[in-house]
Amino acid sequence: MKHSFKAILVVCLFAVLFGSMSSYAAPQKTLRFMWWGGETRHKATIDAIELYMKKNPGVKIIGEYGGFSGYQQKLLTQLVGGTAADIIQIDQPWVADLMSQGDLFADLYRFKELKLNGFNKNFLKSQCEWDKKLVGLPTGMNGLIYVANTDFMAKHKISLNTRWDWDKLVEVGAKVHRQNSNDYLLDMDLTQIQQMIIMHVKQHTGAKYWINADYTPGFDKAGLAAAFAYYQKLQSSGAILPLKDSILFNLKSEQNPRWANGQIGINQIYVSTIAQYYLDGKMKLEAMLPALMRGAKISGITVRPSQLLVINKKSGNAKEAAHFLNWFFNSKEAAVALKTERGIPATTSAIKTLEQNKLLDSNMAKGINLAVKNAGPPENDLSTNKELTTTFEEYIQLVGYNKLSPDEAATQMLRDTRAKLAELKSQR
């Protein structure tokens, strides 16, 4: 009996010891994943992360997510301070500014864990490389479109097949506002107004780039003054929600109560954000082509990655991060979980999976097709420089609040832009 007890004790000790050794032999790897978005994107991404962790129990992924406002500055602070996440969602126009701070992101071409054959190679080269390094992978294809509230359009007897040009927006918008002083055909925040002005200038002048690669403005005073005057005309005619009201919902125009209440007809958005404008199924929407001048050689309509996912070069688990990204972009499970929360997927396999499962939103598909078919040249890095866009937004406000005339604003903005470009050129 004593011998049996001793034998049992020895077996128990071995079991405890073996279990303890096993836990030390295979420590759990932890990845931090940082992104921005709305509630539907958060849920879809968390669902995908949980699927991956279930398949890979030795990996723990911590999501760090929130809204877009303040995200870029927070990220820059973390990168400089060495506290940034392992996997990070960034906006493609930020690449130049971020990489000017140092070699911050891993070259994804170097990871054998990543299979890139599902991506369009030319798109990766033109939109996702920096100094011949693949700094990020596109979460989706994105394009600038109009999204219309179909109930609003029906109420005001506006055809969903309308081919918008600049004059028609004013004509129809003024009529809408005369019929009901609470209704506006258009709503645009500062970023959207900036995009509209750039499109107006490019279509009327044929400028290929907003800022040229030789550090000179791609626009001139006359073209900019005309675009500023057009924006004032939209406001004075009642075609667009006044700036004093739209600015309250800057970078979150879908949260404006006027949109939910059916008082706004059209928002100018990127395709990847369309889910937010459905307001959990409360709104009926239709994708439309933005204003396009007949005979324009350059549309100014942007097509670009929805976002990029990058790997922090300082990550201690870069290979595991690459393994996760490979699953995130290439697996059927991830495609079904993520759906189109970051736009039309950038891989052929993900698109096929969504089509087979009837998960591809018809407006998203229509929107990206309209944008791609009518796309202008991709913007260069200088055109999206943060300091230049901040200056641009300041002058939009001066014009929008009638503090400066269009001609005065164009003169001063051209002067300030040239000065900033000279400074940037001297820092190369």
**Using one digit for the tens of pLDDT, what is the confidence trace for 249-270?**
999 999 999 999 999 999 999 9
Within a domain: residue 19?
A: no
- What is the per-residue pLDDT for 9? 47
423 and 345, same structural domain? no
pLDDT average, residue stretch 7-13? 48
Has residue 4 got a pLDDT over 60?
A: no
- What is the per-residue pLDDT for 10? 47
pLDDT tens for 183-212 read 999 999 999 999 999 999 999 999 999 999
pLDDT tens for 399-408 read 999 999 999 9
* Residue 103 or 18, more confident: 103
- For the chain, what is the mean pLDDT? 92
- What is the per-residue pLDDT for 26? 54
Has residue 45 got a pLDDT over 80?
A: yes
Has residue 2 got a pLDDT over 90?
A: no
Within a domain: residue 334?
A: yes
Within a domain: residue 5?
A: no
Phi-psi region of 336 (alpha: psi -120 to 50; beta: other; left: phi over 0): alpha
User: Number of structural domains, the chain?
Assistant: 2
- What is the per-residue pLDDT for 3? 53
179 and 109, same structural domain? no
Residue 141: which pLDDT band, with cuts at 50, 70 and 90?
A: confident
- What is the per-residue pLDDT for 11? 46
Within a domain: residue 3?
A: no
- What is the per-residue pLDDT for 28? 86
Within a domain: residue 116?
A: yes
- What is the per-residue pLDDT for 120? 85
What is the domain extent for residue 175? 143-302+379-427
Within a domain: residue 405?
A: yes
191 and 48, same structural domain? no
274 and 158, same structural domain? yes
Within a domain: residue 21?
A: no
Q: Which amino acid is at 350?
A: A
203 and 127, same structural domain? no
- What is the per-residue pLDDT for 369? 87
Kindly report the CATH number assigned to the domain that includes residue 320: 3.40.190.10
pLDDT average, residue stretch 371-386? 87
pLDDT tens for 86-103 read 999 999 989 988 988 899
Within a domain: residue 17?
A: no
247 and 384, same structural domain? yes
392 and 347, same structural domain? no
63 and 174, same structural domain? no
352 and 213, same structural domain? no
- What is the per-residue pLDDT for 16? 47
Domain-ending residue, one of 328, 344, 373: 373
124 and 258, same structural domain? no
Question: pTM for this one?
Answer: 0.77
* Residue 96 or 328, more confident: 328
351 and 264, same structural domain? no
Residue 237: which pLDDT band, with cuts at 50, 70 and 90?
A: very high
Range in 23-32, 141-150, 174-183, 369-378 with the lowest mean pLDDT: 23-32
54 and 88, same structural domain? yes
Has residue 18 got a pLDDT over 50?
A: no
Residue 129: which pLDDT band, with cuts at 50, 70 and 90?
A: very high
Q: Which segment, 125-134, 177-186, 359-368, is predicted with the most confidence on average?
A: 177-186
Torsion of CA 79, 80, 81, 82, to 10 degrees: 50
